[in-house]
Amino acid sequence: MLRLTLAGMDTLVTSPLCARCPSGPAGCCAGPPALAWADLGRIVKRGGAAWLRAEMEAGRLRPCPRGLAIARVAGPHGMACTYLGAAGCTLSPVRRSGTCNYYLCEDVYRDAEEAADPGAARTRGAHATLERAFAAWDETLAAEIAARAAPPAFDDAFFEWLGERFERATSRPPLF
């Protein structure tokens, strides 16, 4: 059964079917998404700037063209996200990328629909809404970052600026 916890940009979508992932124990965590600009802005607005800096210092996050890339590490199931633990993601949802909070693969949706899960259609709709919103926020932030005189320094000043820009980008009517 799919579980949808509506909370605007912090919406969480989960499924126990992920534990039986046909791609193996690492599943989609084998290729973690980057923390894109919108993800970073959301994390900063949720009090996570110091956490981001600490994770960069520890080597678990590194700058990439669209934000911060998440390190992959060797584990019992091959290479996977550095935050993948024995019981799933070790991060709280407010520290994860939006994609990690709302993504479910097509196999999960197909299984839910075949089982006549009443939440499947609503969950697909939430996924689509969140995907569009995060993409729009990310494009807005990427354009503002590109317009700056210097590349991001990923320091306190940049994170404060990014958090303010994210707040402005997301100040439109609520998602749900």
| Closest to 63 (Cα-Cα) out of 128, 161, 159 | 159
Q: What share of the chain is helix, strand, coil (3-state, %, to 5)?
A: 50, 20, 35
Q: Is residue 176 part of a domain?
A: no
pLDDT at 149 over 80: yes
Contact 47, 79 (CB under 8 A): no
Cα separation, 141 vs 161, in Å, equals: 11
pLDDT at 174 over 70: no
pLDDT at 2 over 80: yes
- Domain extent, residue 29, equals 3-169
Phi, psi of 53, rounded to the nearest 5 degrees: -60, -45
Q: How many domains does the chain have?
A: 1
Q: Is residue 175 part of a domain?
A: no
Cα separation, 18 vs 68, in Å, equals: 25
pLDDT at 92 over 90: yes
Q: Which residues contact 5 (CB under 8 A, 6 or more apart)?
A: 11, 12, 13, 14
Contact 37, 162 (CB under 8 A): yes
Q: Is residue 71 part of a domain?
A: yes
Q: Is residue 111 part of a domain?
A: yes
Res 18: pLDDT = 84
Q: Is residue 80 part of a domain?
A: yes
Q: Is residue 141 part of a domain?
A: yes
pLDDT at 110 over 70: yes
Res 24: pLDDT = 83
Q: Is residue 105 part of a domain?
A: yes
**Beta strands 67-70 and 12-14, pairing class:** unpaired
Residue range 54-58: average pLDDT?
Answer: 98
